[in-house]
A and B are shown apart, each in its own frame.
Chain A
Amino acid sequence: MKKIIAITVIALVSQTLFSQGVFDKFEDQQDVTSMIVTKSMFKLMSKIDLSSNDPKAKEYLNMVENLENIKIFTTSNSGTAAEMKKTVDSYLKSSTALSELMRVSDDGKNIKFYVKEGKNDNFVTELFMFLEDANSKDSKAVVMSITGNIDLRQISQLTADLNVPGSEQLKNIDKNKN
């Protein structure tokens, strides 16, 4: 009996440990553009000499310091896009910690946002996005996963100045909560 319990525990644990690696197989595929940035690179980034460019760079750096990983997979091939969708679905099913944040379907575009809870309401440990666009030419499917200590408010603030009405609402969310 003990053996069975031990084996199931190990099987479950290893599943969550290797769950992110599910998408790594897309890295080697020809028509997939992938970008993966790890914590060590984020540490290097925080040591960059900031005297140059953007004043907003500081904002980004503050965010970046708390990140563990960023993984992005983009494909322009609809076959690969379908494959990605399948992998995403199975990933979402297998990981019970990811809960749906938002799902939008608009004009042939399907976007899903999933989050893994963080230390409090405003923080998430993983932000997962899957975008499907059958009409787009070069990004038929985009899978993006950010892990770390992510502040959702900060994420939305990054492009808040682009006058997207939604950002106003998001900024007010926690004000209304309080």
Chain B
Amino acid sequence: MDLQKIEQLLDAYLEGTTSLAEEKMLQEYFKSGKVAPHLEVYQDMFAFFASAKSEKTSVTPEISETNKQPFYKYMRKWGAVAALLVVALGVTFFINNNSNKISTAEQIEAELAFEKTKEALNFISYQFNSSAQNLAVIQEFEKSTNKIFK
């Protein structure tokens, strides 16, 4: 592979525009050992990538466990919110349904108070009107004086 092509591919690689096949070509070149001196800095990079591929961990991650734990936390957080919503809705419905009903004891008391209130209002209304009655007399007086003094 000629140097120019390698340099082109390298530039493309550094820009992230290479395909997998092109990257493999670069890898082969840098593995081969016959690397141009000004490209030797990149050799380590590609060597690292090559070896990194073959790395194997000794620890096998336990996938099943990590799935469950977030779920419980998730449940706790949103479950609390959901439970709160349900309780709140239940209470509002309960209150709404009961707000217009009053117990018979309250009904009796309210009726009694209502009667008394009616009496009181009637009383003041009567006093009010009978006092104003005197104003009517004054109006008659005015009318008659107007007749005389016309």
Contacts and interface: CB of A to CB of B under 8 A. Distances in A.
B144 interface: no
Interface in A82-115: 102, 104, 106, 111, 113
Chain B contact-residue range equals 20 to 34
A169 B125 contact: no
A111 B133 CA distance: 13
B129 A127 contact: no
A113 B116 contact: no
B126 A72 contact: no
A70 interface: yes
Contacts of B111: 48
B136 to A, nearest CB: 5
A111 B132 CA distance: 11
A110 to B, nearest CB: 10
Interface residues of A, number: 40
Contacts of A9: none
Interface in B106-150: 106-107, 109-111, 113-114, 116-118, 120-136, 139
Nearest to B132: A166
Contact residues of B: prevailing secondary structure: helix
A48 B113 CA distance: 11
A160 interface: yes
A156 B113 CA distance: 21
A166 B129 contact: yes
Contacts of A64: 114, 117
Interface in A116-140: 127, 129, 131
Interface of B: 100, 102, 106-107, 109-111, 113-114, 116-118, 120-136, 139
23 contacts: A44-B106, A44-B109, A44-B110, A49-B107, A57-B114, A57-B118, A60-B117, A70-B120, A70-B121, A72-B120, A131-B127, A155-B125, A156-B132, A159-B122, A159-B126, A164-B126, A166-B129, A166-B131, A166-B136, A167-B129, A167-B132, A169-B135, A169-B136
